[in-house]
């Protein structure tokens, strides 16, 4: 099933568009986004020192994923995600430690917006003893920037866990489009982009 670009659709039909698109994408890998946005920082911030660290987001390699295992307390099978040809997996690292993964995200270019399949912070960035704050926000901001750079006005969609719909409305200013479909529109996307990409 092929949908027309959402920019060619108006009114209530936009809601139906994103709902159908999310259903199509969810059928390919049955994920619901369940990550909490801890802080929106201007990079990622050490919970110990409060120091801010510059970050980079680059395509992940299979070599990177050798350490991404259940044994090392990662929740998802990123090696299988990496093999899927309809999406790209990116890693978040600091510029000082480019070989240490701080988080991962899997996204697809839908040719009028970007869709987030899966996102995860590294195990050491979760819970009360996390090393860094700001990882999920950084990865969402990167996806919005990809969308902006492609001429899609920063628009990003994803399917949320039901219990986190309100959370994403508040933290990402995402709009709820029926059932569990969430969309980050241009205004909210630009806020995220400017927060994390200070040179814009």
Mean pLDDT of all residues belonging to the chain: 88
pLDDT tier for residue 51 given thresholds of 50, 70 and 90: very high
Topology given in CATH for the domain delimited by 17-161+183-196 = Aminopeptidase (3.40.630)
The domain ranges of the chain are 17-161+183-196
Give the separation between CA 134 and CA 50, rounded to whole angstroms. 12
Q: Write down the pTM of the prediction.
A: 0.87
Residue 188 has pLDDT above 80, yes or no: yes
Give the separation between CA 193 and CA 37, rounded to whole angstroms. 15
Mean per-residue pLDDT, 34-63:
93
pLDDT in tens, 78-91: 999 999 999 999 99
């Amino acid at each position: 099933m092929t949908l027309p670009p959402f920019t060619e659709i108006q009114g209530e039909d936009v809601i139906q568009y994103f709902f159908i698109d999310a259903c199509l994408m969810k059928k390919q890998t049955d994920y619901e986004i369940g990550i909490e946005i801890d802080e929106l920082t201007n990079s990622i911030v050490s919970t110990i020192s409060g120091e801010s660290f510059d970050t980079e987001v680059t395509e992940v390699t299979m070599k990177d994923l050798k350490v991404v295992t259940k044994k090392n307390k990662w929740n998802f099978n990123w090696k299988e995600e990496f093999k899927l040809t309809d999406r790209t997996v990116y890693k978040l690292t600091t510029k000082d430690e480019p070989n240490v993964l701080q988080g991962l995200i899997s996204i697809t270019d839908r040719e009028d917006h970007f869709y987030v399949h899966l996102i995860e912070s590294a195990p050491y960035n979760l819970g009360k003893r996390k090393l860094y704050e700001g990882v999920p926000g950084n990865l969402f901001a990167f996806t919005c920037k990809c969308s902006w750079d492609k001429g899609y006005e920063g628009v990003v969609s994803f399917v949320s866990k039901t219990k986190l719909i309100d959370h994403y409305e508040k933290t990402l200013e995402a709009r709820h489009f029926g059932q569990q479909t969430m969309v980050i529109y241009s205004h909210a996307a630009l806020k995220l982009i400017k927060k994390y990409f200070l040179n814009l």
